[in-house]
Amino acid sequence: MLLIPAIDLRNGRCVRLYQGDFAAARACFEESLALRRQIGDLEGIAGSLHCLGLVAVAQGELTSARDQCREGLAVFRQLGDRLGVAESLELLAGLAQKENEPERAARLYGTAEHLRETIGSPVPANEKDLYARSIDLVRASLGARFAALRAEGQGMPLPQAIAYALEETGEPNG
């Protein structure tokens, strides 16, 4: 029998990641990912990839973060896990903001917001401040265009939005 180690979670949140112990968090998530791949646990694979993406963002490793987030998003899509999709879209939106792609960020945030409303799952309280700051940066970068781009994301069909986030397609409506 293969045992999966506890991944350092408390109330569904990654303790070491939120404490800023990125090396320990990365080690836990890498071990978890390897074991979950070994047993074919798709939900665990997607979650581990998402958490590794969070660690990579925190450490400024944006290329690695993007790759891990996209792979995790693809698995969440395969599983039909809409909350996982929403969280992945938010993380990819934050990455787009950091990579000076505010239009993409606004669309992805819009899609994630709409999806969260649809499934009745708001941004967790402990993440609201960071989420709001990231959106404020995108809004400041885009000015008056922000509302239209966000609405574009909110109106985008989910399969199209996921393909856009995975860069399987070009700009929407383009």
Residues 58 and 96 both lie in one domain: no
What 3-state DSSP class applies to 100?
coil
Residues 15 and 97 both lie in one domain: no
**CA 135, 27, 13, 44 torsion-angle sign:** positive
Return the DSSP state at 164. H
Place of tokens 């693809």: 74
Residue 56: give its domain's CATH number.
1.25.40.10
Range of the domain at 169: 81-174
Residues 59 and 140 both lie in one domain: no
pLDDT (tens, 9 = 90+) of the chain, 174 residues, equals: 343 444 454 444 466 666 777 888 888 889 889 999 999 999 999 999 998 998 898 889 999 999 999 999 999 999 999 999 999 999 999 999 999 999 999 999 999 999 999 999 999 888 898 899 999 999 999 999 999 999 999 999 999 999 999 987 666 754
What does the alpha-carbon distance between residue 161 and residue 171 come to, in Å, rounded to a whole number? Answer: 10
Domain tally, the chain: 2
Tokens, residue 18: 């939120």
Cβ-based burial of 148 (10 A; exposed 0-12, middle 13-18, buried ≥19)? exposed
What does the alpha-carbon distance between residue 60 and residue 54 come to, in Å, rounded to a whole number? Answer: 10
What's the pLDDT score for residue 28? 83
